[in-house]
Structure 1
Amino acid sequence: MEQKVEEIVQWLRKQAEQANVNGLLVGVSGGIDSAVVAHLIKRAYPDHSLGVIMPCKSNPDDQEHAKKVIDSCGIESLKVDLTETHRVMFGNIVDQLKTSDTFNKEQEQIADANLRARLRMSTLYTVATNHRYLVVGTDNAAEWYTGYFTKFGDGGVDLVPLVNLTKGEVREIAKFLGVPDQIVNKQPSAGLWEGQTDENEMGTSYDMIDRHLKGEQIPEKDREIIEAMHKRTMHKRTIAPGPPQ
C-alpha cells in the first residue's frame, strides 16, 4: 500500500511540474474519495496544496466531515459557501423557463443538482487560477466506468489520480493514510438531495461494480445495469465530437 501511495504522489508531482504550476487543490466534500485525494496532494505538495469546502444546500454533517478530513491531513483549507449563488442563479433560470412556458418539472431535481456540481467546478478553477494550482479530481474507477459524475462538474478537473482504483482499493488506501473511520465507513453519497445515496441512485452497489471491473462473475441484473450506465455515459469520457472533414 505504501508503494502504491508513493507512486501516485510522485505522479502528482510530475504532472504539476510538467504543467509549470505551483501546487494542487481538491474540493473536499466529506466523502472518502476527496478525503484520499486531500491526503495525497498534501503529501505531494506539503506547502502548496489546498482543500476547498463548498457548501451548497448541503447536509451540515458533510461540512463537519470535510473539516475532519482537513484536520486529519493538515492541509490548508478554504471555505466558499455557494448556497446563495446557487439560489439566485437557479431561481433566475427557472423563472425564465416558466416565463417562456418551457419549464420541465420532472427535470428540476437533476438540473438543480448538476448546477451545484458545475458551480463547484467553476469555484475550484477560479481558486486554482489565483494560486496557479491544478484541480485534482476524485473519481474512482467505478465512477469513471459508469459515468457517475456530472459532466463539466465534478468531472471537470485536470488530474484523476484515483481513476484506476476500485472503490474497495480507495477504501484500503484511506485506512492506510489515516482518513477518519467515520468517513471511511459512511454511506457513499454525492449529497445532491435529502436522503440521496450513490448506490440507491445507480441501482447497484460499488462492490458489484468493483467485481465487474475485475472480471468476476456478478448477477446478470447488476451486469446489465452497469453496462447500460457505461454505454449511456460514453459522451462524458470523450471530448465533444465534431462532424467529419
Structure 2
Amino acid sequence: MQTEKVVHFITNWLRDYATNAGINGFVVGISGGIDSAVTSTLCAHTGLQVLCIEMPIHQAESHVSRAQEHIAQLKERFDNVDDTRVDLTPVFEEFKTEVSLDGAEATVDMALANTRARLRMTTLYYYAGLLGRLVAGTGNKVEDFGVGFYTKYGDGGVDLSPIADLLKSEVYAIGKFLKVPESIMEAAPSDGLFGDARSDEDQIGASYPELEWAMQMKDEGKSADDFDGRQKEVFQIFMRFNRMNHHKMIPIPICEIPKELK
C-alpha cells in the first residue's frame, strides 16, 4: 500500500465530500482504539472543524486513558480539533431500569452491549445536528464487510466511512504514518461494549491477520474443505460471522408491491 498517497486521497475525499455537502466539519467518537484514532486524525488533516467525543459507559480504565491521550495529542497538533466528554453511564443505567432484563444472560448482555453503541450513535448525531457536521464512521473493511463486527444503527450508523475500504493491517500502517500514540498502536483491538478489557479476538475467536486471510480466501472462492487444522477453523469462524451478519452488509430489504396491486 502506498500509505502517504492513501492518506492524501482519504483526506481529500473527506474534505471534498463535506464541502460539496455544505458542511463545516466532522464529529468522531473516540474509543481509545486504532480505528477511531486514525479516522479522527484523517479528519483533522482536512483542516475542517473536528469534534472528538469521548462517551464512556462503565468503560475499562485502559480504554479511557488511551482515548484521552489521543485527544490531547490531536489537539496539540491541530488547531481545528476540539473535544467533549459525555458520560453516558447514568443514561445507560436508567435505560436498564425501564426495560425487561429477563432471558438468557448471554442474550441480555449482548442486547445491552448493542444498546451502548446505539446510545453513542444518538449522542454523535446530537452534536452533529447541533454543529452542522457529519458523523465520520470508524469501521474498517474486515469489520464492515467481512465479519460484520459492529452494531447495526450503533457504530454502523454514520454519514460517511473514510476507512471502510482498508483492512485492519492497513489501518495500522496509516496509524503509524499519522503518528498515532504507541499505546493505541500496541493495544489489542476491542469494541469496549462490555465494560471490561476483552479483545475483539476474545469475542470472535480469531485475530485480524487471520480474518484478513480468510476474507481473501473467500474472495478467491475457497471453501472450508480446502483447508485443515487452524486454517480450517479460522475460515469456518469467518464464514459463520459473515453469514450471520450478512444483513448488516446489504441495503434494508424493501417489500416492493407489484404494480397491478396498486
Which TM-score applies when normalising by structure 1?
A: 0.92
For 2:154, what is the secondary structure of its paired residue?
coil
- What does 1:29-178 align with in structure 2 at a 5 Å threshold? 29-46=31-48, 48-74=49-75, 75-94=81-100, 103-106=102-105, 107-144=107-144, 145-178=146-179
Within the alignment, does 1:182 sit opposite 2:188 as a pair?
no
Q: Secondary structure at the match of 1:6?
A: helix
2:13 to 11, 14, 33: 11
Question: Would you say 1:227 and 2:227 are equivalent positions?
Answer: no
Give 3-state SS (helix, strand or coil) of 2:137's partner: coil
SS in 1 for 2:160: coil
- Are 1:203 and 2:172 an aligned pair? no
d(CA) in 2 for partners of 1:130 and 1:38?
19
Deviations for 1:117-164, whole angstroms, at most 9, x for unmatched residues? 000000000000011000001110110121000000001001111111
- Within 2, Cα distance between the matches of 1:140 and 1:195? 20
In the alignment, which residue of structure 2 is the partner of 1:100?
A: none
Question: Aligned equivalents of 1:150 and 1:27: distance in 2?
Answer: 14
Q: Is the 8 A contact 1:199 1:206 kept in 2?
A: yes
Total equivalences in the alignment: 237
CA contact (8 A) 1:151 1:236 kept: yes
Paired amino acid for 1:44: T
Q: CA deviation at 1:244?
A: 3.2
- The answer as to whether partners of 2:60 and 2:197 remain within 8 angstroms in 1 is no
Percent identity over the alignment is 37
Shift of 1:213: 3.1
Is the contact made by 2:27 and 2:136 (CA closer than 8 Å) also made in structure 1? Answer: yes
Assess if the C-alpha contact under 8 Å between 1:24 and 1:45 holds in 2. no
**Partner residue in 2 for 1:236:** 248
Q: Is the 8 A contact 1:72 1:178 kept in 2?
A: no
Residue 224 of structure 1: how far off its partner (Å): 1.4
Q: Shift of the alpha carbon at 1:227? A: 1.5
SS of 2:83 mapped into structure 1: strand
Q: Alpha carbon RMSD of aligned pairs, Å? A: 1.6
Matches of 1:116 and 1:77 in 2, distance apart? 20
Q: Distance in 1 between matches of 2:216 and 2:72?
A: 34
The alpha-carbon deviation at position 210 of structure 1 amounts to 1.6
Residues 89-144 of structure 1: CA distance to partner in whole angstroms, max 9, x if unpaired? 122113xx6xxxxx213311111111110000000000000110000011101101
Aligned partners of 1:202 and 1:192: how far apart in 2? 14
Cα distance in structure 1, aligned partners of 2:95 and 2:37: 29
Write the letter of the residue equivalent to 2:192: G
Residues 29 and 53 in structure 1, CA contact (< 8 A), matched pair in contact too: yes
| TM-score (ref. length: structure 2) | 0.86
Structure whose CA Rg is larger: 2
1:200 Cα deviation after fit? 1.2
Provide runs of 4+ in structure 1 moved above 6 Å: none
Q: 1:10-59, CA deviations, whole angstroms, 9 ceiling, x for partnerless residues?
A: 0001111222211111100000100001100011134x111100011111
